Amino acid sequence: MSTTVLIIIFVVALVVSLGFLLLVVTLVPAIQQFKSLMIDLEKTSIEARDLARETKRLIAVAEDRLDKVDSVLSQSKRTVEHVGDTLSFINNNVLRRSAGLLAFLPAVKMGWNLVKKFKGGK
């Protein structure tokens, strides 16, 4: 081989090796940053899974409590209906039928007060 061919091969090898060196010098920090990014991404993924599990647990607790509130509301509704029925019964059967007698209660009280006054009571 002639010296010019050897020089050309040497120059090409030098250029290729310098290019590879520049490539390595620029890619090594990028690879390290990518590696740290992947580690952070893994930690974030684990945290996201934990948060999703906790959210599912909280949703289950909230649904359980809402079921309890629903049962309390239905019991309250039935209680109010029963109280309404009872008050309606009292109004229709007791108060309306005895309205005439109840009108005399103030007069009876006034009479009782007069009797106590004449007897010397307080």
pLDDT for the residue 53: 97
Q: Mark residue 121 as left, alpha or beta (left: phi above 0; alpha: psi -120 to 50; beta: remaining).
A: beta
pLDDT for the residue 120: 73
- Residue 12's Cβ-side half-sphere holds a number of Cα atoms within 13 Å equal to 6
Count the neighbouring beta carbons within 10 Å of the beta carbon of residue 111.
Answer: 11
Q: State pLDDT tens for residues 100-118.
A: 777 788 888 888 888 888 8
Segment 34-45 mean pLDDT: 95
Residue 3 vs residue 54, higher pLDDT: 54
Whether 121 has a pLDDT exceeding 70, the answer reads no
Which range marks the domain in which residue 101 is found? 3-119
Residue 30 vs residue 54, higher pLDDT: 54
Q: What's the whole-number average pLDDT of the chain? A: 89
DSSP state of 120: T
pLDDT for the residue 41: 95
- Report the number of distinct structural domains present in the chain: 1
Retrieve residue 5's tokens: 């061919």
Q: State pLDDT tens for residues 58-105.
A: 999 999 999 899 899 999 999 999 999 999 988 888 777 787 777 788
Q: State percent of the chain over pLDDT 70.
A: 98
- CA-to-CA separations, 32 to 7, 20, 21, 29, 42, in angstroms, rounded: 37, 18, 17, 5, 15
Q: Coil, strand, or helix at residue 103?
A: coil
